[in-house]
Structure formats: structure tokens, C-alpha cells
Structure 1
Amino acid sequence: MSQFDPQNIPLSLYIHMPWCVRKCPYCDFNSHAVPDGELSIELEQQYLNALLADFVTQLDYAQGRNIHSIFIGGGTPSLISAQGYQWLFRQLQQHLAFEDGCEITLEANPGTLEHQPFADYLVAGINRLSLGVQSFDEAHLQRLGRIHSANNAVDAIIQAKQAGFKRVNVDLMHGLPQQSIEQALLDLRLAVENGATHISWYQLTIEPNTVFFRTQPTLPDEEVLEQIQLQGEAYLRAQGFENYEVSAWRKEQPSAHNLNYWQFGDYLAIGAGAHGKVTLPEGVYRFQKTRLPKDYLAKTPAPMVNWQQIAADDMPFEFMMNALRLNEGVPAVEYLKRTGQRLDALDAILNKLRQQKLLVEDEIRLACTEQGHLYLNSVLDHFL
């Protein structure tokens, strides 16, 4: 493997907030019901202090780079106060500068927004919101275990726009238990008509270690799922949305943070269970922080529970698994910059996939054809 120049690779920051009001039955993320039903001021500050200590231990991985983007995920990050985030950002910037125009995204649950107005988060430095709506249908929200109502969801989008947020993503799921085509399309329409500028629209999957896995709900059949996908995509395109990644649709600029993931960029990671990826002169590494909040807080800074170099043989799959999710793919020259490997070593595989019309006939770009996106898993299997 050749030597890397990390200066060619953007560096993002992922911050994990592990608590939520109630665990949803479909959720396999690292989220935990908040102690005593409410996040105390003392616990909030203890966690913020732990995040800062965690960040300081990762400064060497920056290697002179500034922070390109920040994503605060969860759990329910909007349980943390705007003042708490403002304090955290100030502390982080004393150690590492944020790039001009640094995108800072906060995931927010419409059911927890009464704690603090959106405008306060904007003042704190957050400039992009991602609202975990999932559905605007009361029955579906109840089945999904969401704590917000359909009215809460609509109000959240409207309030975010009125507060001054120009970039508002809405997370929506389709293929929900007993969901009809009409209900799925209505969810999209309500998101669009109420001002979403970006929509993450993905099909519900039943994951292990969830309530839905143990007690399987009745999901729509394959014909209904196919029509939801086809009609939903047609509707979003008609409304001026561009599908730039498998499940991401935009009317505004793409998510800088998610693009960095898909382009095999680097990201520091702080918080309970957070996952990171960094490029060092000798190779590319992934790491994970201890998962349970109580363990994360028990020792400050919290230890890593996994630090592993990506093996040279795994690098093609790791890169393509991300890059080929993008409809436009990535410039071919990025492969050497991000993996340290020569792309011509993959010529036999790439030529075969181009002949099969699964990759575009373009030697300066790595991208799937429309057919390739339909069979993306099969395309990726070639790189294993």
C-alpha cells in the first residue's frame, strides 16, 4: 500500500447523543431511554465534558486538517440544550478550527421540540436540521412507537423554516406495516408541501435485536413496495427533487457530511458507541467508542473498544460500497487518494461490469448505470 497524504481527504466529526425519550420497536441504533424520563442539567454537562475529553484524544488524527462538517446523531440529540451545544462548539474550536461554512447538522425528534425553540439551535451554530418524522400518519406513528403526532411533525418543519433554517431534511420511511401506496405518497407530499429541502426516503427493514424482529409486523407485499418506490420517485422528481444517493433526495445542496462518508472521507467520532474512520500515513483505520452511556461516562476520556486497520484486500469493497451509492459516483482519481491503491489493479473487474452495462462507460468516473443501481449488491460482490 502506498503512502497516504491525508491533506487530500476532508475531515468531518460525528457526535453521538445516546439518549431518547423512548426506544422505537424498529430501531437498532445505539439509543437508550433517558434516565428518569428527562435529561438533567447535571447529566447533560457531564456528557458534554466527556465528549470534549474524547475529542482531545483524537486530535492527532486530524494531521493539520480543520473540521469540514459535523453531524450530531442519536438517540435524540435535541434532548441536549442549545446552550450545551454552543458551549461544546466553542470548546472544540479551541483545539481544532471549523472550516468556513462548516455544515453542522442536528438530528431532531418532532416530539421533543417543546424543550427549546429552533431559533436557539440556529444561534448556537447549527445550520442544518434533520427531522426524524418517519411518517405523517397517526396509525403508522403509533405502530412505529414514535412519541410525536402528525401535527407535531408538520409543525416541526414549519417552525424550523420560520426560525430561519434554510436547510431542513426530513427522514421518511416507506413500506411500513399495512401501509398503502396512497399513504406512502401522502407522507412525501406533506414533507414537500410543508417546506422540506432534503428528504431521506428509505424502506423499513427489520433488523435483529429489535422488537419488530422478535414480533414481526405485517409488511406490504412486493408489488405494493415496488409501486411505492416507482410512484414516489416520480412524484419527487416532478417536485424538483434530485436523487443523488440511493435514499437521498435534494432541492438544495447535498449533505456535505454524508457526501464525505460516501466519498470515503475521514471522520472523527465522539460519544457513546460512535464510529470513526481516519487515514494515517500507514493506512486507513476504523474505530468505535464504548457503547453504553454509563460505561462511556465511567471513565473520561472513554476508551476505544475497537481500533482496526482496513486490510488491503478489503479496501476495494470498502471504497465501492460507499462511492457507488452516489448516482454520479466519484472521480476515478479519488480511488488512489482515498485507498492508497492503484485503480488499474481492478481493471478486469471494472471492464467486466462496464461490459455488463452495470458501470458507466467512463474511465475518469466510477459510477453505476441505472441498471447497476438496481443490482447494487451484485455489483459490490465483485469487489469482495
Structure 2
Amino acid sequence: MSDSLTTPPLSLYVHLPWCVRKCPYCDFNSHEYKGGKGSALPYDAYVDALLADLEHDLPLVWGRPVHSVFFGGGTPSLFPPEFIDRFLQGASARLRFAPGCEITLETNPGTAEHGRFELYRGAGVNRLSFGIQSFDDGCLQRLGRIHDSREAEAAVKLAQDAGFDNLNLDLMYALPGQTLAMAERDLERAFALDPAHLSHYQLTLEPNTVFAARPPQGIPDEDSAWDIQEHCQALIAARGYEHYEVSAYARPQRRCAHNLNYWRYGDYLGIGAGAHGKITLGAEQAILRRWKHKHPTEYLAKAGSEAGIGGDDRIAPERRPFEYMLNVLRLVEGFSLADYEARTGLARAGIATQLQAAFDAGWLEQSGDRVRPTELGRRFTNDVVALFLPD
């Protein structure tokens, strides 16, 4: 191992775990709120817990600026703007937010209310990510979503009217009962809203979900899903969106800074129930992964103390090549070998054999210091990454 491990950019991930209804395909740490009719979520208590959690983790990142903040869930837009505002004020008093810091809030169209978006903007949120999934009402019902296509379009327009111009729309394809023509119509309706960013990803049956236990009828087969993907990629490119990650497309200068930091093997503090973080400890030449207790009740009781930490794991040097490739090979731009050394603390010679195998298979290509996945390699990302698994 070399001693070249350097600290990369830092992000902050904030998990807000509650949702109105758990979707049958969702494997995120989300919990339906069962507080009873008329009762509110414990907003104040949860913000207090988040700030205590952040305070406890601060020694890991003293003096480092935060370049992006991302509120994920669950359904973060269940939290009224005043609580997002209170958290951001508390966080910015404890951390240095870099100029132009990207602050994203995930939003469910079914929880959007007139007037809220202006207040989110006032709190400091400057990017919204809408979990739309489809503009086809039949598909939305089969996915268990709480909104319909009319509500989805109305929510996006409300946000635009409130002054948001940095918007992402999440769309899924290869849905139960979906044809190629239906997937194309979803994109056309998305294009009509002119978002700055599109996430377009295939429905997968994740373990421990309702769909995994009881798969829905009519999911397109692998060949049909590939046909939809290729056709839709061409449509998105024709509308001027840059394909920069497996499932992400952006207008110029509108890539998601937060997700890019993940994919470039950057650092991030993770606070909130079930949140995961990754922090490079430069003085110790170590990489730490830390996660918090998943269940909101346990998290609320323990946040801000050692008992609130679900686990700590130091990433052994032999695991770092796989972890690094698992992220960077999702990017169309690939990675530089100098960056590999800086972010893993390992010499490039240690992965020469694996890289050569990927070059020989036609999965990766090299130009100078930069290594990129080929078109073939992007189709077989899992196989490429598997080359870097530790023995």
C-alpha cells in the first residue's frame, strides 16, 4: 500500500425514514407512519436527533467543507419546510457549507402542497428530485404509488412556479404491463416538463420486498427490457441530455453533484435512521464506513451517543479496489489511475492484472491516465466489477 490516501470532497446525507405507504418494490429504509388519524410525525424530536447525530460525528470531519446535502427517504417532503429550515440552520452552524452547495430534497408528488415549494427554497433547498416513476396511471397503480399522472405534472409545475429550475424526475422502465410505446410516452411527458435531470432506471425485484415475494405479472423479459433501454437512451440523447451514469442524464452543468460524489468514491456523512456514511481518515490512512440504527424509534432514543451507531467498519486495503470500481464504473467518464491511487491509497500496479483482463474482454479502454467502460462494458458492469473482488 502506498501512503497516497487523500481526503476527497465531502457530502452530507440526511435520511428521513417515514412514508405514507411503502411501495412494493422499495428496499430502502422506509416506514409507514402508523401514528393514527390526525397525529403528526415527531418532526421536532427527529430534527433534534439529527442534529445530535451530526454533532456526534463532527470529529470525523473537522474543518472540511460540505459540497452537497441530500435529504432522502422515505418521503422527505412529508417534513414541512420549517423543519427542513431548522435542520439546515443547525447543520450550517456546525459544518462549513461550500459556496454553491447543492441541497436536494426528494419529493413525492402525492405529498406536494401549494405554497410549500417557495418555503423549501427559502430554507435553502435548491434542487428537487421527484419520485414520479411513470406517467401511466395503470403502471402507477401496479407500483403502489399514491399519486396519479395528473398530480405528478401538477407538482412539478408548482415547483417550477416557485422558482426551482434544477429538477430531477425519476422514471422507471420494464414495469408490469409496460410496452416500449408506453415507456416512450412516459419520456415524452417528462420532456414536456423540461427537467434539468432525468433518472431512468429498470425495475428490479430487490430481496425482502413485496414484489420479490410475489412478483407481479407482465414484467418485460430481459430482451424486451434491453430494447426499451436502448430506445429510450436514444430518445433522451436526442433531447440534449448527457448520459453520464448508468441511469442518469443531465442538461449541461446539471449533473447531480451529490450522486457524482458517491460514484467518484467521495466521502459522505450519513445521519438519520439507517443512514450510511463513508469517511476517509487521512492521518490514519484509513477509510471508515459507519451506519446508524435503522428503526426510527430506536434511532430517536439513541441518536447522538455511541449507542446510536449501528456499526463501524474500517475498509481493509484488499477490499478497496472492488469498492472503488463498484462506484466509478457506473460513470461513462470512468476514472483516472491517479484518482484511484488518491482515493484508495493503493498503487495502480496492484490492479494491472484485472485491468488487462477487462481490456482483453473489450469491457474497458484506456486513453492516457483515464480508464473508461466501453459500450459493451456498460452492458456487463457487474462482470467488470467482479474482476476486482478480493481473493
TM-score between the two structures when normalised by the length of structure 2:
0.94
AA paired with 1:328?
A: E
Cα distance between partner residues in 2 of 1:370 and 1:42: 46
Runs of 4+ deviating beyond 3 Å? 1-6, 37-42
AA paired with 1:293?
A: P
Partner of 1:98: 97
Find out whether 1:299 has 2:302 as its counterpart. yes
Q: For structure 2, which runs of at least 5 residues remain unmatched after alignment?
A: none
Conservation of the 8 A alpha-carbon contact between 1:66 and 1:97 = yes
Q: Give the 3-state SS of the residue equivalent to 2:365 in structure 1.
A: coil
Find out whether 1:325 has 2:330 as its counterpart. yes
Conservation of the 8 A alpha-carbon contact between 1:206 and 1:212 = yes
Partner of 2:261: 260
Cα distance between partner residues in 1 of 2:303 and 2:237: 48
Partner of 1:335: 340
AA paired with 1:361?
A: Q
**C-alpha deviation, 1:38, in angstroms:** 7.1
- Summarize the Cα distance change of 1:360–1:378 in structure 2 as closer, same or farther, 3 Å threshold: same
String of CA shifts for 1:245-274, please: whole Å, max 9, x gaps.
000011142110000000000000110000
- The within-5 A match list for 1:342-357 is 342-357=347-362
Cα distance between partner residues in 2 of 1:268 and 1:39: 34
Range moving further from structure 2, 150-159 or 356-365: 356-365
Cα distance between partner residues in 2 of 1:346 and 1:157: 45
**C-alpha deviation, 1:3, in angstroms:** 3.9
**Residue 381 of structure 1: which of 372, 386, 391 is its match?**
386
Partner of 1:212: 211
Partner of 1:250: 250
Partner of 1:170: 169
Partner of 1:274: 275
AA paired with 1:340?
A: G
Cα distance between partner residues in 1 of 2:126 and 2:32: 27
- The within-5 A match list for 1:141-290 is 141-218=140-217, 219-252=219-252, 253-280=254-281, 281-282=283-284, 283-290=286-293
Conservation of the 8 A alpha-carbon contact between 1:161 and 1:195 = no
Cα distance between partner residues in 2 of 1:119 and 1:37: 29
**C-alpha deviation, 1:140, in angstroms:** 0.8
Q: Give the 3-state SS of the residue equivalent to 1:209 in structure 2.
A: coil
Conservation of the 8 A alpha-carbon contact between 1:324 and 1:366 = no
**C-alpha deviation, 1:359, in angstroms:** 1.2
State the number of aligned residues.
Answer: 383
Cα distance between partner residues in 2 of 1:68 and 1:260: 9
Conservation of the 8 A alpha-carbon contact between 1:39 and 1:79 = no
**C-alpha deviation, 1:97, in angstroms:** 1.1
AA paired with 1:226?
A: W
Cα distance between partner residues in 1 of 2:38 and 2:172: 28
Cα distance between partner residues in 2 of 1:161 and 1:383: 44
Conservation of the 8 A alpha-carbon contact between 1:119 and 1:163 = yes
**C-alpha deviation, 1:293, in angstroms:** 0.3
**C-alpha deviation, 1:117, in angstroms:** 2.2
Cα distance between partner residues in 1 of 2:63 and 2:302: 28
Cα distance between partner residues in 2 of 1:375 and 1:42: 43
Cα distance between partner residues in 2 of 1:66 and 1:222: 43
Q: Give the 3-state SS of the residue equivalent to 1:94 in structure 2.
A: helix
String of CA shifts for 1:280-323, please: whole Å, max 9, x gaps.
13211111100000000112425111100111111111001101
Partner of 2:16: 17
CA RMSD of aligned residues (A): 1.6
Find out whether 1:49 has 2:52 as its counterpart. no
Cα distance between partner residues in 2 of 1:38 and 1:107: 24
Conservation of the 8 A alpha-carbon contact between 2:80 and 2:116 = no
- Summarize the Cα distance change of 1:363–1:175 in structure 2 as closer, same or farther, 3 Å threshold: same
Cα distance between partner residues in 2 of 1:317 and 1:185: 35
Conservation of the 8 A alpha-carbon contact between 2:4 and 2:346 = no
String of CA shifts for 1:210-230, please: whole Å, max 9, x gaps.
111121112112332122111
- Summarize the Cα distance change of 1:38–1:382 in structure 2 as closer, same or farther, 3 Å threshold: farther
TM-score between the two structures when normalised by the length of structure 1:
0.96
**C-alpha deviation, 1:116, in angstroms:** 5.0
**C-alpha deviation, 1:41, in angstroms:** 5.8
Cα distance between partner residues in 1 of 2:134 and 2:117: 21
Cα distance between partner residues in 2 of 1:42 and 1:216: 32
Cα distance between partner residues in 1 of 2:185 and 2:304: 46
Partner of 1:59: 58
Conservation of the 8 A alpha-carbon contact between 1:21 and 1:38 = no
Cα distance between partner residues in 2 of 1:189 and 1:205: 23
